[in-house]
Each structure stands twice: as structure tokens, then as C-alpha cells.
A and B are shown apart, each in its own frame.
Chain A
Amino acid sequence: MKQLLLEIGTEEIPASFLGPALSDLERRVRAALAEHEIPAGPSELFSTPRRLALRLIDVADGRPARVVELQGPPRKAAFDAQGNPTRTAVGFSAAHGKTPADLYVKPTPRGEYVFLKKQTDPVPTTNVLQEGVPGIVAALPFPKSMRWDRTGVRFARPIRWLVCLFGDEVVEFEFGTLKSGAETRGLRSSVPPSFRIPEPAAYQSTLRAHGVVVPRDARRTAIAQELERLAVSAGGRPVEDEELLEETTDITESPELLLCSFHPDYLNLPAEILTTALKKHQRCFSVRKADSDALLPRFVAVANTPGCDAKTVSGWYEKAAESRLRDARFFVEADLKHGLEALVEEEKQVTWIEGMGSYFDKTQRLRELCKHLSKTGTVPQRVGRSCSEGLSPVFDDAAALDRAALLCKADLLTNMVREKEFTSLQGRIGGIYAQRLGEPAMVADAIAEHYLPRFIGDKLPTTRNGALLSIADKLDNIVATFLTGEIPTGSEDPFALRRQATGLLTIVLKQSLPVDIGELVSAAVRLFPSAKKEYASQIPGLLRERLNALLADEGIRYDIAAAVMETSWQQPAQALIRANALAAFRDEPEFLKLVVGQKRVANILKGLPRLSAEENRGCTQPQEALLTEPTEKLLWQESRKIEPDLDGALAAHDYRHAFELLLGLRPTIDKFFDDVLVMAKEEDLRTNRLRLLACVRSLFGRLADLSKIVIEGQ
């Protein structure tokens, strides 16, 4: 057992590439060892911008020699009628350094075959690594890779050294023009520039002695603690920014934090703009007051040169910040002078998606969609008090929503958002400007929130108008992109439409909005005059697929999801509420009996496509005159009786009551199957009974398609 160390030394790799490449490296090295059945213990991963490293503990020295049984040709091909070995048998044994005398016959499921036993050579781990590592390094995937030397090998950035040690010995291999060794490199400023790693266990300590902190977590903690200390020393607290903390961890080998200042005049700028300017241009943390979100005229820079001259370095960071903030102030002033309203007119000149009109056209569609959405919301569409917590079901602010829809894209034409560092603030800038230009909060907030959630797990809109505008915007993005024929397939989703669909549905689910997907999509498609049906018809499929995934994320079992998706997927909020209700019933024995009954009904109806689609949906009532057996009469009467109560219970989201009502039918259903022959000889009776069952099924279907529930052990 030894330790294995592999360090790929590079020029600075982009921060976002490091994590995925490192876990891929570990996976591939483990796979190479596993392929040769070489056991390996736990691992440690290290990364800095200039190195990706992996240490594996307790790696076996190799796979020992052992005896394996090899299967050869069938007995008939190996031996002739007299039992003499054929040429085939001679060939097979010779190929393994044996003679036909070593062959023996064994039965197999496919007949008798000849076998031989052979001792394999031991496989030293060093050999496996020598052969495997160059291919592993070459195969690491990066979003972008490059060539740099005459051999044409590719990597994220040039590789300049390779350390590979198994125990205290170098595993020798070549990659591009490089040879592996034990020499690593320290910080750029360190003397000597390169030095030996004596053994894998000494990796961290050797580099630490030369100033490089290789464990990523240690750097992250060091940055967070020093940031906290410096902000407190300035009388404040750091503005928390996980993303920036991760990034600064990944662009330093030896973080050195510096407290810097800017002129307090710039505090007039909106805080988000200040924070973003410092973050995007200079990767600096902002500092806020200890007791509020207001900023202090301070920031913290993360340098990478221990022992640098703090005064010089922070002085230059301050100059750079000054120039950025001056630009930002210039933009804000110019933008506010121009106003948002004037930009709406200019949107006519700006193409949104080729063939899908301008941004102006888009905002006109958003206004229409928002009207549709606010109308939908006013209809009490089976929405009880329980599902609209905190949100008024009546849109007394429809005018504000319309105004927000009109102005929401104007910030894309502002100086501020057109600067690439600030594009991430799209929407936020619009909201800030709207507020500063005197628009009501209901308008400004909706503009500010209408891109939310921008990614999975992002904040959701907190206002109703923000939520509706976001839904409208995302849906319009999806519809327009589909109509250009750019439909996501497999891993191809260049316009992130799945993410948009997930965002849209997340809002609907979390805010329990009474949205009907079918109606909404049709409304959105109608706004494109020349929509191609073949593309438009595929849009609901995307939403359905995403809703299914979201239900799974909510912890809904797949069979319950299938049961509610079948009946209610177009009302996602309802689907989720029903799924949770079903999940609560699921463990009750009565529930399972109900499911069994429904499966029987479904099976009978499934095997018999004799009913029209309409009948199958349960819309055609059976003729009472043709109900001959007492049990079927009873079933029909009971069904009729519970129907109004059932609908009332569903409308009130009282699923317990709905469930109990349906459960009350169960004895009669069971009796029906015992007493009544559904497949009667007389066609009229048969059809009538199938209609009856379809009606019963439709009652259950108002809750969910219970036949989709999987019963364990069946």
C-alpha cells in the first residue's frame, strides 16, 4: 500500500473550470485502477489556478499474479470424433502458451466448451499509471480548450509541469513535450522557482513551505476570516457574496487581503451598482455598515502576492475603483436624464430574436399576456383560501402590471446594462431607475423582479406583479424560440429553455398561482401572427416534462406524480397540492384497496377500445333503463349521489373529504365486479356497463388517476 500523487501544473486556468475538471480527474484515475482491480483508499483533491492535484491513500502496489479460467471454442470444434485435438484447439492453447493437453471440457448454458487455466502476470500499479495517466489528462473535459505546443495536445491552458509519485518513486510518462517528475513550482515570486515533492504525504506541507495553500477549503476559510476581520476593523461587515468568495478562492494560491477605500461621494450610487462594479471589474468585496445594508466607502481586494507592498497595491486598486465608479456615475446620470419611457420607443430599432421582431414587439406581447394572466387570477377557479397565502386573488393593480410590462425591457438600452459588467443587473437596474424616476413601487418592484429566478435555486419574485411578469417573460422566450424551430433536444438546449420553463413553473408552484398551462400557452402563441403549428404544438410537452421533474424535486414519488400529472398537469399548483394530499393517504390500507379497484376499472376499459373517446372520458351517462342488475343500479346511484359533494370538496381543496367520498364507493365497486358480468353477451348491456365504469373512473379522475399508483409487491 502506498500513496499516489498526481499534480498537473498549468498556467492560470479559469476559475469555473477547476471544480468539474478535478472531480473528473478523480473519477478517471479511480476507474483506471478499478479496471485493473487495484484497490485504492480515500482521496484528497487540491486545486489552485496553477494546479490540479489528486492524492489517493492506500493504493495497492498492483494486482498480484493469479490463476484465471479462460473459455475456448465449443468441444465439438476442439476435438474430432476420435477425441483428437483439432487445429482450433491447438491454436487456442498455443495462444495462451499451453498445449491441448491442458484443455478440459465443461458444460455451459450454451453447450460444452473447452477451457484452460492460466496464471496471469502481476500488474504493477506503476505500469497502470504510466499507461493510463496521459490519456486521462488528455480526456479531461473543459468548456474551452487550446493547443500550445507542436504535439497538438489540448488542455484548458498550457500544462508546464507534471508530478506523478507512487510512494517516493516517480511514475514516468510523457504528455505533449513534457515528462513527469517530482519537481513542482511555487508562487511566481518564490525562490527557488521549482522544488521536489519528496513523497505524496508531503505534498501539502512542501507547497505550504513555499507559500502555496493547495487545499481549496483552507484558502476559502482564510479569505472569509480575513474579510470579516478587515470589514470589522473598518467598523462594518462584509457584504456577503458566495459567488465572489468561490471565485477569489479559485484565482489565488496564497490570498492576501487588502482594505481599500473610495470617495464617500460615490455612496449616492445605488448600492447594487457599486457592489457590482467592484465585484465584476476588480473582484473586490464591498463593506456595509454593521447595523444596516447601507454601504461604507470601503472595499476589500484579494491579492495573490504575499509580502506585496500593501500601500502601493491598495493605492492602485483604489485608482482603478475610482475610474470604474466615475464611469458608473456617468452612466446613471445620463440614463436617468434620458428616462425609461423614451427608451421604449427606441426598442423598435432593436431586434430581439431574428424573425421574432423587436424588443418593443416583445413588450407589447408581454402586456397582452399579463392581461390574460391577471384575468385568469380573478376567476376563483377552484382556488380556496388555503392556496393563495399572502397573495390577493384580485388584481387591483392590473394597471401597475401593464406599466411594468411596458417598461421592463427599457433598461437593456441604458448605458449601464449595455456595459458587459452590468448585464447581470438587467431588471434590477430597470427597477432602480423606475423608482428614481418616480414610478410607483408596484411598477418598480415588478420590473426589478421579472427575471427571477435566473437560475435553479435563485430567489423568486416576492410581489404578485413580479411573479406574473416573470411568467409572461419566460413563456414568451420559450414560445418565440420554439417558433424559430430551436427546440431543445437531448443535451442540446442552447437557449436554456428548460431552465426558463423550470423557473416559470417554480413560481406557479411556490405561489400557488391558478394558472392553466394549456390556456396560457395558447394565449402566448396567438400573439405571434404566423406561428407554425408544428413547433407550437411541442411547447406544452416541455412544460409537462419540467413539471414532472419539479414534482420529483419536491420529493413526490414517481407514481403519485404520474397519477396527478395525468389529470391535473395543466394546473401545476393543483397538481402539487393533490400530490401532497395523495402522499399523505398513501400509507393507509384503505387507499391501497381503492387503488386496486381503480386498476381493475382501468384494465377493463383499457383492453376495450370500443367506447368513443368521449365515452371513455366518462361524459356519456349510462341509460338507467339498461341497468339490469341491482348492484349496477346501486353503483350508478351512489356515483350520482357523491358527485356534487366530491366537486365541492375538490374545489375547497379538502382532499381528505374527497378521498373519503370515493372510498365510500369501494364496497359497491367490489360487489359490482363480483356480481355483474361486464362483458355481457348483449351488446347494449355491455356498452352500458362500460359507460358506467367510465363514469365511475371519471369521478376518481377528478382527484387523480389512481391506477398509476404502484402497489409494492405486485
Chain B
Amino acid sequence: MISFQDIISRLQSYWADRGCAIVAPYNSEVGAGTFNPATFIRVLDSKPWNVVYIEPSKRPRDGRYAQNPLRVQQFWQLQAILKPAPADIQDLYLKSLEAIGIDLKKNDIRFTEDDWESPTLGAWGLGWQVELNGIEISQFTYFQQCGSIDLKIIPVELTYGLERIAMFVQGVDSIFDVKWNESLTWGDVYRQNEEEFSKFNFEEADVVLYREMFDKFESEAQRLLKLGLVYPGYDHVIKCSHFFNLLEARGAISVSERQNYISRVRRLARLTATTYLAKVEPEPPGQ
């Protein structure tokens, strides 16, 4: 039996052995590993960049008060970024599955068309969702644009849905039953967290406060980015995105407002990207 934590460490070692630095999850709420500056910012420039990290992904709307065996408002992603994308990247990915005990001869793996897009980050790419016996376990994307900017070097982003994979390799039917290690289950670690955050996300989050926070963090992000402070500025962009997710889960955003909020975050993401590039790779004058 491979535990949840074994899966994480085996995947990290697998990619570390192939030149990826193991870096940390970001210290702020994100909806996906893509928001981590180790992806969003570092794919922009023209230097190679190879990292692997886990990321707790918070999606307030997906909470189900710990009542649905397959849906939670915070789950773990493991993300590898390889820039530039190696030519044998599909094979490398498949071998990583073998590293966690998935026998590719006995199971059916399929790369199914799924074009990834993050409207808030102004990012999109082409690729697939990877299905193991009909169940999606990973997202495999060649980024084309990030922060609304065409990327100079095409990176590949591999995102593993760790709970799904663990359910498969452990043969359990609920996220909450996934064995974290020999004595704890996923539910032992996170059940109370799920219950409370579901209540918070859907019922208690202070709508007035978070609207105000969105506005203030938006101005602060703009101010900081104009000063050329890329990372502190982007930190505020991430917060804005999370506040938006919270407000949406609370049902506080109408259909027409939604688009507006998304484009406000996208503008900030774009400003982050242009500020970063202007700083690390300024265009020679006259071009």
C-alpha cells in the first residue's frame, strides 16, 4: 500500500531526479498550482526553469461540508513545470505513473483533448486531461500564453490530482478514506477543515469585507507593480483572485459582475507579467 505522503514524495523524487528543483507551496490561498509564482512568473522569461512542488488548491465553491466523497474545497495538486518542454515529455510523464505503482500494461491511459485556460490569469495552453481507466488524474498542458503574453519558450505544466491518484492506487472510494500514512486518513487530517470552510465559504464569509478587500488589494497591487515590486505586487493579485472566489461561492456576484471581476484580475495579472519582463529582460532601446 502506497500512502498519500509516499505518492507525494515519490513523484517529487522522480522529477527531482530529472532535474526539477523541489520548491514549496505558496504561502497564500490559490485555486491551482498555476498561481504559484514558481509557475506564473517564472514561465514568462527566456531562461530554463524546472521545478516540482505540491500546492493546496482552494476552490471555495467545491466544498460539500465533507459530505460528498469526491468533492472538497481544498485538495492537493502536485505540479511539475519543465521549461523548455522536453521532446519525450509524454513518456517521462507516463514513467512517473509507474513510479507510483501504476502498471501501464494493465491499465488504460488516455490523453483526452482538453484545452486549458485560466481567464483570470490571462493564461491558456493546449494539451489534454490524462485519463486512467476513464478517470481524470492529471492535466497536461503546453502553455502558450501567460499574463496575456505569448511565451518565448513553451513550458509544459503537469498537474497531478493527488487525491484521485491515491484513491486509485489504494483502491478506496472516498477522498476521506485515502490513507495519509499508516495511521492517519485524509479525513483525519482535513474533515473538520472541510466542514468549517464549507460553512465559511457558503454562509459566513463577510461579503462587505471581502468586496472592500478586493478593491483595496487591487489598488495596492497596482501601486506596488508600478514601483517595479513584482513579487509583492503579485502577492496582492493572488489575494484578489481568492477574494473573488470567496465572493462567488457566497453567491454575492451576479452574472454580469462576474465578467467584470475576472477582467480586473486579468488586468492585474497582465501588469505583473509586463512588469516582470521589463525588469528581467528589458527590450533593447529602439526595438
Partners in one complex: yes
- Of B132-140, B211-219, B224-232, the one contacting chain A is B132-140
Nearest chain B CB to A316's CB is how many angstroms away?
A: 3
Given A148-B142, A317-B134, A305:B105 Cβ within 8 A? yes
A384 to B173, CA, bound (A): 65
Q: Is A157 an interface residue (CB 8 A)?
A: yes
A158 to B135, CA, bound (A): 24
Interface string of B80-122 (1 = CB under 8 A from A): 0000110100110010000000001111111111010000000
* Most chain B CB inside 10 Å of its own CB: which residue of A146, A284, A321: A146
Interface string of A191-209 (1 = CB under 8 A from B): 0010000000000000000
Q: Is B70 an interface residue (CB 8 A)?
A: yes
Contacts of B133 in A (CB 8 A): 303, 312-313, 315-317, 320
Decide: A307 and B105 in contact? CB cutoff 8 A: yes
A319 to B87, CA, bound (A): 34
Decide: B87 and A313 in contact? CB cutoff 8 A: no
Interface string of A12-24 (1 = CB under 8 A from B): 1011000000000
Closest to A15 in B: B113
Contacts of B254 in A (CB 8 A): 349
Closest to B168 in A: A316
Among A146, A188, A321, which residue has its beta carbon within 8 angstroms of that of B144?
A146
Nearest chain B CB to A658's CB is how many angstroms away?
A: 56
Contacts of B87 in A (CB 8 A): 149, 158, 160, 177
Closest to A147 in B: B154
Decide: A144 and B110 in contact? CB cutoff 8 A: no
Closest to A303 in B: B108
Decide: A188 and B94 in contact? CB cutoff 8 A: yes
Interface hits, A619-665 → B, CB 8 Å: none
Count contacts between A and B, CB distance < 8 Å.
96
Given A144-B115, A147-B154, A188:B135 Cβ within 8 A? no
Q: Is B27 an interface residue (CB 8 A)?
A: no
Q: Is B255 an interface residue (CB 8 A)?
A: yes
Q: How large is the interface on B (under 10, 10 to 19, 20 to 34, 35 or more residues)?
A: 20 to 34
A315 to B134, CA, bound (A): 10
Nearest chain A CB to B162's CB is how many angstroms away?
A: 17
Decide: A350 and B142 in contact? CB cutoff 8 A: no
Contacts of B154 in A (CB 8 A): 146-149
Q: Is B256 an interface residue (CB 8 A)?
A: yes
Among A146, A251, A320, which residue has its beta carbon within 8 angstroms of that of B135?
A320
Decide: A147 and B144 in contact? CB cutoff 8 A: yes
Among A309, A323, A350, which residue has its beta carbon within 8 angstroms of that of B106?
A309
Decide: A301 and B134 in contact? CB cutoff 8 A: yes
Contacts of A14 in B (CB 8 A): 113
Q: Is B200 an interface residue (CB 8 A)?
A: no
Nearest chain B CB to A229's CB is how many angstroms away?
A: 19
Decide: B109 and A305 in contact? CB cutoff 8 A: yes
Decide: B126 and A144 in contact? CB cutoff 8 A: yes
Contacts of A149 in B (CB 8 A): 84-85, 87, 154
Closest to A323 in B: B70
Interface string of A319-358 (1 = CB under 8 A from B): 1110100000000000000000000000001110000000
Contacts of B106 in A (CB 8 A): 308-309, 312-313
Q: Is B128 an interface residue (CB 8 A)?
A: yes
Among B90, B105, B113, B126, which residue has its beta carbon within 8 angstroms of that of A308?
B105
Decide: A150 and B84 in contact? CB cutoff 8 A: yes
Contacts of B109 in A (CB 8 A): 188, 305
Q: Is A11 an interface residue (CB 8 A)?
A: yes
Q: Is B153 an interface residue (CB 8 A)?
A: yes
A189 to B115, CA, bound (A): 25
A320 to B133, CA, bound (A): 9
Contacts of A49 in B (CB 8 A): 111
Decide: B110 and A150 in contact? CB cutoff 8 A: no
Contacts of B132 in A (CB 8 A): 316
Given A146-B144, A149-B84, A282-B134, A312:B107 Cβ within 8 A? yes
Nearest chain B CB to A160's CB is how many angstroms away?
A: 7
Among B91, B105, B128, which residue has its beta carbon within 8 angstroms of that of A12?
B128
Closest to A157 in B: B126
Closest to B135 in A: A320
A305 to B128, CA, bound (A): 18
A321 to B85, CA, bound (A): 34
Among A193, A307, A350, which residue has its beta carbon within 8 angstroms of that of B255?
A350
Interface string of B152-195 (1 = CB under 8 A from A): 01100000000000001000010000000000000000000000
A315 to B173, CA, bound (A): 12
A317 to B168, CA, bound (A): 12
Nearest chain A CB to B163's CB is how many angstroms away?
A: 13
Nearest chain B CB to A121's CB is how many angstroms away?
A: 38
Decide: A319 and B173 in contact? CB cutoff 8 A: yes
Among A156, A157, A305, A349, which residue has its beta carbon within 8 angstroms of that of B107?
A305
Q: Is A304 an interface residue (CB 8 A)?
A: yes
Contacts of A11 in B (CB 8 A): 90, 111
Decide: A308 and B255 in contact? CB cutoff 8 A: no
Contacts of B110 in A (CB 8 A): 12, 251, 303-304
A160 to B91, CA, bound (A): 12
Decide: A305 and B111 in contact? CB cutoff 8 A: no
A372 to B85, CA, bound (A): 61
Closest to A322 in B: B173
Given A188-B94, A189-B105, A351:B111 Cβ within 8 A? no
Interface string of A595-618 (1 = CB under 8 A from B): 000000000000000000000000
Contacts of B112 in A (CB 8 A): 12, 251
A156 to B126, CA, bound (A): 9
Nearest chain A CB to B161's CB is how many angstroms away?
A: 13
A321 to B91, CA, bound (A): 28
Closest to B114 in A: A14
Decide: A150 and B255 in contact? CB cutoff 8 A: no
Contacts of A12 in B (CB 8 A): 110-113, 128
A308 to B134, CA, bound (A): 13
Nearest chain A CB to B257's CB is how many angstroms away?
A: 11
Closest to A178 in B: B87
28 contacts between A and B (CB under 8 A): A11-B90, A12-B111, A12-B128, A144-B126, A146-B125, A146-B144, A147-B142, A147-B144, A148-B85, A148-B154, A149-B154, A156-B126, A157-B126, A158-B142, A160-B87, A304-B110, A305-B107, A305-B108, A308-B105, A308-B107, A309-B106, A309-B107, A312-B107, A313-B107, A315-B133, A316-B107, A316-B133, A350-B255
**Residues of chain A whose beta carbon lies under 8 Å from any beta carbon of chain B:** 11-12, 14-15, 49, 144, 146-150, 156-158, 160, 177, 188-189, 193, 251, 256, 282, 284, 301, 303-305, 307-309, 312-313, 315-317, 319-321, 323, 349-351
- If A12-B112, A49-B111 are given as contacts, then 19 extra A-B residue pairs at C-beta distance below 8 Å, sorted by A number, are A144-B115, A144-B126, A146-B125, A146-B154, A147-B144, A148-B142, A150-B153, A160-B87, A188-B91, A193-B91, A282-B134, A303-B108, A303-B110, A305-B105, A308-B108, A312-B106, A316-B135, A316-B168, A351-B256
